């Protein structure tokens, strides 16, 4: 029975991972389509499209999916959907601020789904402006650590391109800059022979709210539920997970 149980658990985990991967692919394809519609279907003349395609390739999105998204967005083929960008502000359990960015073809559905998901998972929707002031829009470029690249290597490469700071992000080095300097920073990395994983603008919290283990679980439960919504593209929080709590979470994942 234990063997069967273990296989059932493994199969369940694989199904969850596959579903999450499918959602991620769909979001990246949507970003590519919107970028192509906004700035044209030629990546060479559309940096936003170029970076969206590169990010999708890094995540192993099939080339056919990428090509079809570019063609739909640029009007080369039929089937394009008119997506609207909408942002929602709210609070997760424990007073953690949350920003939710959606790309949707149905504003009413998106609003209803986000509101319901927040309330069912211990959060609540907030008035516009009541949360966003806790975040700054920053350009973020992720530099690969492959090939023995050091933080100093990255810093030297991007210092004159508009980078504000470089920090160790675990699997990558995170380079922060003004959103208008993203392309210049990304190009500086490429010129220095350093590969990059992502180049985009994100909401970065100006102050963080620490959580304990129970709080981390509650916030993650909400984030997972929001991640399941088709209209949700990105979710940002000002949650701060202390090192000891992160270690406990890692142990639980291993179990």
DSSP result, 25-78? HHHHHHHHHHHHHHH-S-GGG-HHHHHHHHHHHHTT--HHHHHHHHHHHHTSSS
What's the rounded mean pLDDT across residues 206-229? 95
User: What is the structure's pLDDT at 57?
Assistant: 94
Q: What domains are there in the chain, each with its CATH number?
A: 2-74 (1.10.10.200), 84-133+207-254 (3.30.70.980), 134-205 (3.30.70.980)
CB contact at 8 A, 140 and 201: yes
pLDDT number for residue 85: 93
- Residue 159: both structure tokens together: 């210092």
For residue range 19-74, list pLDDT tens digits in order. Answer: 788 889 999 999 999 999 999 999 999 999 999 999 999 999 999 999 999 999 99
Residue 135 exposed, middle or buried by CB count within 10 Å (0-12, 13-18, 19+): buried
Encoded tokens for 94: 């424990």
pTM over 0.75: yes
Report the share of the chain in percent with pLDDT over 70: 93
The label of the residue with tokens 């003349």 reads 45
Over residues 168-193, mean pLDDT: 95
Contacts of 124 (CB under 8 A, 6+ apart): 90, 91, 118
Q: Is the pLDDT of residue 9 over 50?
A: no
Query: Which is it for strands 163-168 and 84-92: parallel, antiparallel or unpaired?
Result: unpaired
Question: Please, which residues have CB within 8 angstroms of residue 214's CB and are 6 or more apart in sequence?
Answer: none
């Amino acid at each position: 029975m234990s063997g069967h149980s273990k296989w059932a658990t493994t199969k369940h985990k694989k199904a969850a991972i596959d579903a999450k991967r499918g959602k991620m692919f769909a979001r990246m394809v949507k970003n590519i389509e919107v970028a192509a519609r906004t700035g044209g279907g030629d990546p060479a003349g559309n940096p936003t499209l170029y970076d969206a395609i590169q990010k999708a390739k890094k995540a192993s999105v099939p080339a056919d999916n990428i090509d079809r998204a570019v063609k739909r967005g640029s009007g080369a083929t039929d089937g394009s959907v008119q997506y609207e960008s909408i942002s929602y502000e709210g609070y997760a359990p424990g007073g953690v601020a949350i920003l939710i960015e959606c790309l949707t073809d149905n504003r009413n559905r998106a609003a209803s789904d986000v509101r319901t998901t927040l309330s069912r998972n211990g959060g609540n929707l907030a008035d516009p402006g009541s949360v966003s002031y806790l975040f700054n829009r920053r350009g973020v470029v992720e530099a690969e650590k492959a090939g023995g690249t050091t933080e100093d290597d990255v810093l030297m490469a991007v210092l004159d391109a508009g980078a504000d700071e470089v920090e160790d992000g675990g699997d990558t080095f995170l380079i922060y800059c003004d959103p208008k300097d993203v392309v210049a920073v990304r190009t500086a990395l490429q010129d220095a022979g350093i590969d990059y994983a992502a180049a985009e603008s994100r909401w970065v919290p100006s102050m963080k709210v620490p959580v304990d283990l129970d709080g981390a679980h509650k916030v993650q439960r909400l984030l997972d539920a929001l991640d399941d919504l088709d209209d949700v593209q990105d979710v940002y929080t000002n949650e701060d997970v202390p090192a000891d709590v992160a270690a406990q979470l890692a142990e639980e994942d291993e179990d």
